Structure 1
């Protein structure tokens, strides 16, 4: 069975989509539609903007969504048996399989990114990847800290991302190094995504989601919040809202997809970050 995966933030690059724009009439049409819906030239930022501009949460999320969905829409081979998206990638996956329209997805991503960016500016948060410790150990250390700090991305058996207040993040990272973490990398983000700090964003996003027309999915989508296959529109809507404060259960999702028959995993988006994670997960569960 074929599984298609859609990446989140971190896979962007300057020039992304320019080749699609030049070589596909449908891609060009969708890029131009993106500019019209958003009211500004996102294509200029994607094709020739600076990497610093592209790193801005708002532009990053829009660019990855647009690139990923267009790539799926113009592909003659996009015939999934199941799909999944990492964080933001979940919205790309839903648009690709027509749970909502490309335009509605643009509005969702635009509002989601703006809301999250606003929370980042009002709070002091960060994220870090921890390598070489068991999930249970990291979970316990986070729980024992008196600040807001939680596991946020279960990416692979070798790495778990934690997210929270800057001071709590520093304390927990320092302690995890002392007890045997092989490596800890602070992520280049200015917010504590997938943590309780995002609760105000979640409430605002709920109102926006309620205005969008969602359809039941033809294909199971393994959502981040539960790692389980979902097809019903109401459940899908609830899960993408919960995702803002809940951890991304990526390795659990991939494991469940494998258990349900997925053999070929194809990444649809810029870069190949998810392919690297798949190799690590498959080795662990083989």
Structure 2
């Protein structure tokens, strides 16, 4: 039973997508059906060469995962899913949450779900975001790496050591922290040509795993300054959200349009401190969160940092019914 503080929404970024995502929601909820159908119409108006329902439910071209994965398609699909899941909860009269936690591209899903951004503009924005990210990867030849078993402070020490060993000057692109997910799980981004040396240093320092995500697109990295500049040409028409968003960069609540604009303008070049968002749940007494995306990526991270917080998925209709039962106990 959920007590006291109420619940929060957790909006994941890329990495939680899977074929079949949202199909059960679509088949069981008129609200979800309306969101997905609207998204298909929006894609047609924007001239995007796919239907979100087809990609989410069937993924015939393998655009969600694997060597053909396409972040410019994945981001609109995840956004549509999160908005649809939120509409389902409203349709079922589940008590409203008091805070949204956002991870990377999940920030834009949360803005659309909580009324700060129209669905069409949100889909257009994240599609554009995906395009500039893909082009940036080709330009800077970057690698995306997961590191398990070292705390962020030690990782930064080893990166500084490797930078010195390789003679990389200040201001030159090198590997840096992209996302601190848990105490001992982080993501790095940096020029692929330095990957071997960085991997060797981190393994020697005690990392259990240092692995390149070969199909991943770099984000939250200083080398994406040109991509961020291009993205900032897209002027969002924001409204104040229905609930505060806890920023994944600063771990501070975003409540005003000005706050959100500032956060968006540097989002792609700033590291994500997701662990700080999870620790916020512990510090402020939250006991329940709802993962507003397919899968349990954020739930698994929460288990490590705030094990007393119950995180419920929205991946299936059975999950939705479980949420309704759990939260109705405190309505």
Pairwise TM-score range, normalised by the shorter structure: over 0.9
Establish whether residue 195 from structure 1 lines up as the match of residue 205 from structure 2: no
Where do 1:72-151 residues align within 5 Å? Answer: 72-75=86-89, 76=92, 77=94, 79-144=96-161, 145=163, 146=168, 147-151=173-177
Distance 1:200 1:239, change over 3 A: same
Contact 1:4–1:83, Cα closer than 8 Å, also in 2: yes
- CA displacement at 1:251 relative to structure 2: 0.4
Q: Structure 1 residues 58 and 221, CA, compared in 2 at 3 Å: closer, same or farther? A: same
Partner of 1:232: 256
Q: How does 1:2-81 map to 2 (within 5 A)?
A: 2-39=7-44, 40-50=50-60, 52-54=62-64, 55-75=69-89, 76=92, 77=94, 79-81=96-98
Q: Are 2:35 and 2:83, in contact at CA under 8 Å, matched by a contact in 1?
A: no
Q: TM-score, normalised by structure 2?
A: 0.81
| Pairs within 5 Å for 1:238-249 | 238-249=262-273
What's the TM-score once normalised by structure 1's chain length?
A: 0.93
Contact preservation (8 Å) 1:34, 1:42:
yes
Are residues 3 and 188 of structure 1, via their aligned partners in 2, closer, same or farther at CA, if it must alter by over 3 Å? farther
Specify every segment of 5 or more residues in structure 2 that has no aligned partner in the other structure, as ranges: 45-49, 310-331
Report SS of the residue matched to 1:52: coil
Q: CA deviation at 1:241?
A: 2.6
Aligned length: 283
- Point out where structure 1 has 5 or more consecutive residues left out of the alignment: none
Alignment RMSD, CA only?
1.9
The CA distance in 2 between the partners of 1:143 and 1:193, in whole Å, is 20
CA positional deviation for 1:192: 2.5
Does structure 1 residue 185 correspond to structure 2 residue 185? no
Determine helix, strand or coil for the equivalent of 1:109.
Answer: helix
Stretch moving more, 63-72 or 189-198: 189-198
**1:67-101: CA deviations, max 9, x gaps?**
11111112132611111111011111111111112
Indicate if the aligned counterparts of 1:99 and 1:216 stay in contact, CA closer than 8 A. yes
Shift of 1:46: 1.5
Q: Distance in 2 between matches of 1:16 and 1:7?
A: 14
Q: Secondary structure at the match of 2:242?
A: coil
The answer to whether the 8 Å contact 1:13/1:51 transfers is no
Contact kept, 8 Å, 1:133 with 1:158, in 2: the verdict is yes
Structure number with larger C-alpha Rg: 2
